[in-house]
Homo-oligomer: A and B are copies of this chain.
Amino acid sequence: MATIYQVSEAAGVSLATVSRVMNGNAKVSERTRKKVEDAMASLGYQPNAIAQSLASNRTNSVGLLVSELHGSYFGDLMSTVEHVLKENGKHVIITAGHVDEEREHEAIEFLKSRRCDALILHAEAVSDDYLKKLVESKVPVVVINRKVDELDQNCFVVDNVKGGYLATKAAIDAGHTKIAYISGPLFKKDASDRLAGHKKALEEAGLTFDNKSLFEGDFHESTGQEGMQHLQATFPDFTALVCANDEMASGAMTAAREAGFDIPNQLSIVGFDNVLFSRYLYPKLTTINNPIHAMGEMAAYWVLEHVYDIKSPIPIEHLFVPEVVDRDTLGNL
């Protein structure tokens, strides 16, 4: 592998000059630039990014932490972030935290040890304190889908309370009054926020929340099925079921179908997230749009602006509002 030294020799110039034509910042005469470029081409020279980073203290790469590498939600997030960053010549290093405090911690330390210029974190397990310390330290950090007190400027979140509210409100507006709910794991802020929104909508409509109408799932498909089965026993004759995400809604639909329900005529179902496959389901799932795409984009723009001095093409916002995506699983009563 050719080094900058060999290029400088072949071109008959100094190291510094080669470096200058590589980076295109300082001025170099046309003639020497040509010489250097020819030398590079003929040697098949490829700069060593590691050495560049060490010397310049810039890696041109930003770290992205997600909970999992699979799943539509994170797929969308990774895609979006990569897209806007790559468009601006920056690279993304992706790691997974698996919703486990230690592993998230490790993943973040890895990104730091890799000297990423900035971090974009979808961190669920690590503590608020840890995140605060991180922000106070040198690395620019942005947090997605989690609101940390005192870190408003670094957080990009969707209004989950409002989302939960909208989902249930949609069911109420369609005439439903006996509404069941399958939540996510309630120790997670987004899960509890969505449930809070659900309760708020009920209350506003003069309906009382019944503990028996609630099943706590884990955001995975299987607990949607379990939840549906469980609720049939504990809270019979509900006409609408609101689920805290699309995976669980899908599971619930399967269970409902197996139990002989016609969707949406006998049972309405509303999801949350509007992940890609929600429109492949049959019937197509009515759900709440989680603007993960917009958030990822915004986080990337924030980084460009704050770390690389590249102006964001859109104003930076921190709160995103969800909205109802009306499809085929919510019927009028």
Q: Is the CB of B49 within 8 A of A51?
A: no
Interface check A94, CB cutoff 8 A: yes
Copies in the complex: 2
Q: How many residues of A contact B (CB 8 A)?
A: 44
User: Which of B48, B54, B74, B257 is A51 in contact with, Cβ under 8 Å?
Assistant: B54
With A69-B75, A76-B70 already in contact, the answer to whether A50 and B280 are too (CB < 8 A) is no
**Which of A5-13, A31-39, A107-115, A180-188 forms contacts with chain B?**
A107-115
Interface check A96, CB cutoff 8 A: yes
Q: Is the CB of B112 within 8 A of A46?
A: yes
User: Which of B46, B49, B254 is A282 in contact with, Cβ under 8 Å?
Assistant: B254
User: Which of B50, B71, B79, B277 is A114 in contact with, Cβ under 8 Å?
Assistant: B50
Interface check A15, CB cutoff 8 A: no
Interface check A27, CB cutoff 8 A: no
With A75-B69, A91-B95, A113-B46 already in contact, the answer to whether A257 and B280 are too (CB < 8 A) is no
- Inter-chain CA distance A91–B107, complex, in Å, is 10
With A50-B59, A280-B254, A281-B280 already in contact, the answer to whether A78 and B82 are too (CB < 8 A) is no
Interface check A253, CB cutoff 8 A: yes
Interface flags, A189-230, vs B, CB<8A=1, else 0? 000000000000000000000000000000001000000000
Cβ < 8 Å to B, chain A residues 87-112: 91-96, 109-110, 112
Query: Which A residues contact B (CB, under 8 angstroms)?
Result: 1, 46-51, 53-54, 59, 68-72, 74-76, 78-79, 82, 91-96, 109-110, 112-115, 138, 221, 250, 253-254, 257, 276-277, 280-282
10 A-B pairs, CB-CB below 8 angstroms? A50-B115, A54-B54, A69-B75, A69-B78, A69-B79, A70-B78, A70-B79, A70-B276, A93-B94, A254-B280
- Closest CB pairs A-B (n = 3): A70-B75, A69-B78, A49-B113
